[in-house]
């Protein structure tokens, strides 16, 4: 099978064994056999974030990462209470949009997309409004590559009696963390990123006591209700609605491969890939948009070069034709593109990519640094 390298922030490059795991005999997802597989997958997903199965539950959904955001925001806010959105990027801004769509009472606490949130400002916001029952943020803003201090934000949320929800879509199974140690009550992800599986399976991991407490909260969505999905699975061993059957088989295989590689080894591989990206950019004289100390080590935002010959679309198309996908950035005031360390890739793939990128830039007529070719 031809191998394509995806340097976009997801879906990620997958192994052939994960792809082929989808080729299975047809099965009705209401069969007990398939329910057992879903339960096993959910239990394995808990282990990745070191969540005690006696305290936490993993609730599976059919959809993308945005569905998880919708689920958590509409399901976990009590009546007459507010959610505080710690907003420093495109994905926390999406959470604000979801709140607006549902008419949820919320505070949009905005910070620069080029920096981490100000903890003192978060503490002031919590102290000033006792109606805040939920604090929401993004662990890793993939639009920029900024990694947010979730442990510290979670401690502030808990000190003021609020539950803490974190979008971990682009850190789950890549940057090791523990739910308890990171002060996270709910996290979320989808299978096509850190897990290196296929699109269509998303999941929320949360404190079981808080999920059960949400039974009495307003039901704001028919499909995207966390308690109803949780309770239905607990009662029947099935999702409420049709699950992504083949995607779940792929996730089962991806989980097996994750545990064979190991948490530490996988994190080290992603770090090697990120370092190779940094070296390659420096060799070409390309500048990074985010200062190193707040980068995630998973996404690098690259500033468009100040060269009249630069054309992102042409560079993208050249790289794509040679087996590599790159992706535009999400910094509105600056032209950027992103290179990502996600997926089943390693240093050698990045070294090959930079040879291709160098060719693409040369074709544009750009002047490259001496010694870069």
- Which among 201, 236, 259 is the end of a domain? 259
- Give the max Cα distance, the chain: 66
Tokens of 248: 């779940």
pTM: 0.96
- Residue 289 sits in the same domain as residue 337: yes
- Residue 211 sits in the same domain as residue 333: no
Query: Which CATH number goes with the domain that contains 141?
Result: 3.40.640.10
Write out the residue range of the structural domain in which residue 317 sits.
262-364
* Domain assignment of residue 206, yes or no: yes
Helix, strand or coil for residue 262? coil
* Domain assignment of residue 12, yes or no: no
- Which among 241, 259, 277 is the end of a domain? 259
Residue 323 Cα distances to 13, 58, 345, angstroms:
11, 36, 13
- Residue 338 sits in the same domain as residue 227: no
- Residue 195 sits in the same domain as residue 78: yes
**Residues 299, 146: Cα–Cα separation, whole Å:** 8
**Residues 23, 29: Cα–Cα separation, whole Å:** 15
- Residue 121 sits in the same domain as residue 175: yes
- Which among 259, 285, 307 is the end of a domain? 259
- Residue 131 sits in the same domain as residue 243: yes
**Residues 143, 273: Cα–Cα separation, whole Å:** 18
Tokens of 336: 């950027």
* Domain assignment of residue 354, yes or no: yes
- Residue 128 sits in the same domain as residue 70: yes
**DSSP character string of 296-318:** -SSEEEEEPPS-TT--HHHHHHH
- Residue 252 sits in the same domain as residue 267: no
| Structure letter (DSSP) for residue 21 | T
- Residue 179 sits in the same domain as residue 36: yes
Other CB atoms within a 10 A radius of the CB of residue 198 amount to 25
- Residue 44 sits in the same domain as residue 135: yes
Tokens of 370: 């001496």
Tokens of 145: 């590559």
**Residues 247, 3: Cα–Cα separation, whole Å:** 20
| CB of 107 closer than 8 Å to CB of 120 | no
Bridge partners of residue 333, in order along the sequence: none
pLDDT tens, the chain, 373 aa long: 889 999 999 999 999 999 999 999 999 999 999 999 999 999 999 999 999 999 999 999 999 999 999 999 999 999 999 999 999 999 999 999 999 999 999 999 999 999 999 999 999 999 999 999 999 999 999 999 999 999 999 999 999 999 999 999 999 999 999 999 999 999 999 999 999 999 999 999 999 999 999 999 999 999 999 999 999 999 999 999 999 999 999 999 999 999 999 999 999 999 999 999 999 999 999 999 999 999 999 999 999 999 999 999 999 999 999 999 999 988 877 899 999 999 999 999 999 999 999 999 999 998 888 654 4
What is the pLDDT, as a whole number, of residue 14? 98
* Domain assignment of residue 5, yes or no: no
Q: How many domains does the chain have?
A: 2
Q: What is the CA 134 to chain-centroid distance, rounded?
A: 20
């Amino acid at each position: 099978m031809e191998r394509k390298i995806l340097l976009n922030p997801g879906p990620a490059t997958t192994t052939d064994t994960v792809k082929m795991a989808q080729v299975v005999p047809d099965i009705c997802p209401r069969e007990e056999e398939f329910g057992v597989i879903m339960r096993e997958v959910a239990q394995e997903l808990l282990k990745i974030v070191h969540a005690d199965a006696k305290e936490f539950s993993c609730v599976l959904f059919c959809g993308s990462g945005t569905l998880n955001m919708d689920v958590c925001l509409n399901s976990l806010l009590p009546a007459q209470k507010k959610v505080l959105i710690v907003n420093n990027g495109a994905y926390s801004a999406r959470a604000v949009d979801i709140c607006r769509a549902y008419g949820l009472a919320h505070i949009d606490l905005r910070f620069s997309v080029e920096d981490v949130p100000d903890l003192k400002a978060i503490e002031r916001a919590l102290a000033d409004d006792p109606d805040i029952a939920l604090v929401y943020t993004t662990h890793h803003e993939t639009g920029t590559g900024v990694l947010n201090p979730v442990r510290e934000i979670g401690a502030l949320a808990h000190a003021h009696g609020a539950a803490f929800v974190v979008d971990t879509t682009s850190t789950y199974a890549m940057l090791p963390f523990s739910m308890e140690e990171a002060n996270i009550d709910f996290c979320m992800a989808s299978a096509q990123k850190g897990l290196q599986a296929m699109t269509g399976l998303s999941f929320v991991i949360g404190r079981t006591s808080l999920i059960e407490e949400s039974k009495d909260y307003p039901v704001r969505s028919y499909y995207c209700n966390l308690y109803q999905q949780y309770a239905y699975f607990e009662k029947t061993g099935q999702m409420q609605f049709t699950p992504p059957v083949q995607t779940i088989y792929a996730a089962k295989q991806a989980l097996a491969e994750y545990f064979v590689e190991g948490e530490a080894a996988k994190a080290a591989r992603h770090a090697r890939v990120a370092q190779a990206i940094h070296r390659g950019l420096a060799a070409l004289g390309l500048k990074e948009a985010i200062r190193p100390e707040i980068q995630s080590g998973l996404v690098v935002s690259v500033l468009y070069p100040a060269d009249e010959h630069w054309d992102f679309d042409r560079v993208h198309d050249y790289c794509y034709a040679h087996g590599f996908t790159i992706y535009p950035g999400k910094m509105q005031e600056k032209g950027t593109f992103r290179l990502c360390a996600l997926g089943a890739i390693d240093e050698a793939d990045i070294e090959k990519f930079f040879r291709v990128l160098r060719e693409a830039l040369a074709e544009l007529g750009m002047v490259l640094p001496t010694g870069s070719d």
